[in-house]
Each structure stands twice: as structure tokens, then as C-alpha cells.
Amino acid sequence: MIVTSLKPLDEILDSISPYSKILIAGCDGCTQPPRGLREAKTLSQLLELAGKLKGKDMQFKVTTVVKQCDSFLTASALKSQMDGVEAVLSLACGAGPQTVAEIFPDIPVLPAQNSHFVGAEDREGGILEDRCSACGDCILALTGGICPVTRCAKGLLNGACGGARNGKCEMDPERDCAWELIYKRLERLGKLDLLKEFRSPRNYQAKAWRLTP
């Protein structure tokens, strides 16, 4: 699950204020809460009203894309709607505006949302938890299926820092110590020997991932 939140209306309005004809593009993909056609229409109405209150007359076109991060789907959905458009306001996660900007390099593409995390939902507990930082070098096989990059407040790769108390992180007493969870999981699996393996410092270039046919 990708969790996003709408930027403040004033911030969005400031970003689109230089333009008069704006395409608001929703996304039917992965974000929670959903930001599809209905949300795009609602946002257009709010921005139109807010613009008029500030003496700015803006015209909005509204559409949605199945997945804005898919360049083929995005190009297919938007190309026929770009006539006269001065800017695109994207309701996708951070990947969406970047994809649209690559397809239409001569048109400003502006984000309407902030992206917060890739996570998992505990429906019974009613909580959302960060579970993946998309680091590009997954080590879950060595850590019992628990990600230390994301779930350890310090992102430690080679064991606990020693600051945990009663199974909780010293940085946040409400947060479980990821490395204690990893230890217990590996102990249960009979694989504590994996803790003896040294893990090299993170290769941040691994995040610069590109799929090639």
C-alpha cells in the first residue's frame, strides 16, 4: 500500500496560479486513500472556487489514469487531452508526476499530493505500518522476513544498537525494536547463525533501478 495525503489547498493553488488551463489527472492505482476521477473532480471544484475568491479565473479539465507510473497507460490516456493545457496537476504518488513530466517535457507537471510510505495494513488493529523503503537490495532472506532498513529507526544492518528497553526502540518507546523481532523470528526458525553474517553498508545506487526488456 502506498499512502499519500493531499497538499494544503493554498499550496496547490500557489503552484498552479501562473496557469489558466489546467488538467487534473487522477490515478486509479495503488494510493490510499484513492485519488481517481471523483477526487479529481472534487479538487477541481475546490480550486476553481478558491481561485475565484482570489480573483484568478482558471479552467480545469479532469481525467484519471489506471496507473500514472506506467508510461504507456499514461501516454495513451493523456495525449488526446493535452490540447490547450498549460499545466498538469497530478493526484498520483511521487512516481506519477515524474512519469507525466517525462512524457510531456514541455508542460509543467505539478504534484497535488505528498507521498508518505509503502506499508502494510493491520485491519484488526486499525493501523498502518512502514514495511518497505524500496532500497533496491532486499535482505529479508537474512533477517527472517523483517526489514531492518525500514523498521529499525536507525536502519541498522548488523544487529541491534543496544539501546532497546523491554523490546521497544530507544528512539520511540511505542515502537518495537526491529532487531529483537528479527532475533526472535530467526530463533524460531532455527537460523540464528544468520546473525553472524556481516552485511556491507547499503549501496544507495541500488535504488536507481531501471527495468530493461
Instruction: Kindly report, residue by residue over 12-29, the tens digit of the pLDDT.
Output: 999 999 999 999 999 998
pLDDT greater than 90 at residue 44: yes
Domain-wise residue ranges, the chain? 2-116, 133-207
pLDDT at 206: 66
Percent of the chain with pLDDT over 90: 54
Q: How far apart are CA 90 and CA 2, in angstroms?
A: 15
pLDDT in tens, 77-94: 999 999 999 999 999 988
Question: Binning pLDDT at 50, 70 and 90, where does residue 212 land?
Answer: low
CA dihedral over 119, 121, 127, 131, signed as positive or negative: negative
pLDDT greater than 70 at residue 125: no
Is residue 145 within 8 A of residue 185, CB to CB? The reply is yes
pLDDT in tens, 132-189: 777 778 788 889 888 898 889 999 999 999 999 999 999 999 899 999 999 999 999 8
pLDDT at 208: 58
CATH class of 2-116: alpha beta
pLDDT greater than 80 at residue 124: no
Q: What is the pTM of this model?
A: 0.71
Closest alpha carbon to 194 in 164, 157, 163, 167: 157
- Looking up cell 514495511 gives 131
Angle at 184 between CA 182 and CA 186, to 5 degrees: 65
pLDDT greater than 80 at residue 118: no
